[in-house]
């Protein structure tokens, strides 16, 4: 028991010695780094790069600080570029909203991913191969709101001012051919009304759906056609809680089965 205790004490002493040595080395590195770099931005980096178990040379400190500053500069450039692209996208969407051509936030079957990215920067990052490397099929599932996680596309959070759950986009090559929007059923109703106000002509059909308890609900389906494009809004889609907006083209290549929507 005594041997075990002495061994523990020795280990703790060694740990404290190493910890103290590391702190002294880090403090010396920070002081030395501040002497090397006089500008404010670099001196602020000194504390961040000085933590080390050993004393660093001037060249090592300089290399570390310059690497951190370069990384920060790159991050700032990327952020500025993304902000500029978002501003340009918002301007394009504002112009697009005045057009009478069938569009969903600037998107339509037949648009390329590159063009879609101009309206919604970063949308291609949500796309993945959906064909096991065959036929160049792809799908892009863009979650919104609380479901989006750390990555999101703000411009796709709403449609006609209504909250959206998800955009399920499918295509082939680099061309989008099918757009499915999943949203709350009441939002789908309001989106349908907003699109009817914008596009005027179209068809409307009413059917009755029944829940498990036998209660009946009126399901309204609105549809518009323009050339090869077909846009359909259904208040009740995969469930009574969710509605859908489906945008397709008669020119679309075969994309296998339509994506299955899951109530979120």
% of the chain surpassing 70 pLDDT: 62
Residue 258: inside a domain, yes or no?
Answer: no
Conformational region of residue 76, where left means phi above 0, alpha means psi within -120 to 50, and beta covers everything else = alpha
Residue 122: inside a domain, yes or no?
Answer: yes
Q: What pLDDT is recorded for position 229?
A: 94
| DSSP annotation of 59 | H
Beta strand 203-210 with 229-239: parallel, antiparallel or unpaired?
unpaired
**Whole domain around residue 13: which residue ranges?**
2-75
Number of domains observed in the structure of the chain: 2
Residue 150: inside a domain, yes or no?
Answer: yes
Residue 148: inside a domain, yes or no?
Answer: yes
Domain check: are 112 and 63 in the same one?
no
Q: Hunting for tokens 């863009």 — which residue is that?
A: 142
186-201 pLDDT, tens digit per residue, is 999 999 999 999 988 8
User: Could you tell me how far CA 204 lies from the centroid of its own chain?
Assistant: 34
Residue 209: inside a domain, yes or no?
Answer: yes
Q: What pLDDT is recorded for position 187?
A: 95
Residue 94: inside a domain, yes or no?
Answer: no
Domain check: are 46 and 173 in the same one?
no
Domain check: are 122 and 236 in the same one?
yes
Quick one: 53 exposed, middle or buried, by C-beta within 10 A (0-12, 13-18, 19+)? exposed
Q: What pLDDT is recorded for position 151?
A: 61
Domain check: are 60 and 115 in the same one?
no
Residue 254: inside a domain, yes or no?
Answer: no
Domain check: are 62 and 11 in the same one?
yes
Q: What pLDDT is recorded for position 15?
A: 41
Q: Specify the pTM.
A: 0.63
CA distances from 73 to 78, 81, 84 (A): 9, 12, 16
28-57 pLDDT, tens digit per residue, is 656 666 666 665 555 566 655 555 556 667
Domain check: are 69 and 189 in the same one?
no
Quick one: 211 exposed, middle or buried, by C-beta within 10 A (0-12, 13-18, 19+)? exposed
**pLDDT at position 222 over 60:** yes
Indicate the pLDDT class of residue 165, thresholds 50, 70 and 90: very high
**pLDDT at position 22 over 60:** no
Mean pLDDT of 150-159: 80
Indicate the pLDDT class of residue 209, thresholds 50, 70 and 90: confident
Q: What pLDDT is recorded for position 261?
A: 47
């Amino acid at each position: 028991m005594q041997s075990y205790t002495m061994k523990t004490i020795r280990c703790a002493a060694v740990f404290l010695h190493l910890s103290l040595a590391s702190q002294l080395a880090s403090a010396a590195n920070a002081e030395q780094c501040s002497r090397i770099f006089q500008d404010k931005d670099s001196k602020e980096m000194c504390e961040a790069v000085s933590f080390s178990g050993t004393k660093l040379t001037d060249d090592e400190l300089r290399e570390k600080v310059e690497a951190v500053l370069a990384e920060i500069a790159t991050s700032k450039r990327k952020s500025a570029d993304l902000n500029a692209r978002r501003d340009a996208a918002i301007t394009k969407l504002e112009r697009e909203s005045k057009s009478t051509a069938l569009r969903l936030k600037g998107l339509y079957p037949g648009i390329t991913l590159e063009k879609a990215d101009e309206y919604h920067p970063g949308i291609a990052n949500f796309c993945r191969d959906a064909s096991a490397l065959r036929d160049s099929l792809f799908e892009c599932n863009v979650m919104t709101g609380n479901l989006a996680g750390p990555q999101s596309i703000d411009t796709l959070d709403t449609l006609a001012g209504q909250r959206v759950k998800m955009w399920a986009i499918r295509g082939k090559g680099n061309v989008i051919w099918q757009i499915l929007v999943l949203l709350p059923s009441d939002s789908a109703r309001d989106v349908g009304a907003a699109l009817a106000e914008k596009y005027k002509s179209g068809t409307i059909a009413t059917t009755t759906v029944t829940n498990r308890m036998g209660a009946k609900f009126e399901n309204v389906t609105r549809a518009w056609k323009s050339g090869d494009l077909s846009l359909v809004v259904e208040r009740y889609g995969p469930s009574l809680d969710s509605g859908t907006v489906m945008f397709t083209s008669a020119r679309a290549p075969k994309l296998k089965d339509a994506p299955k929507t899951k109530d979120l």
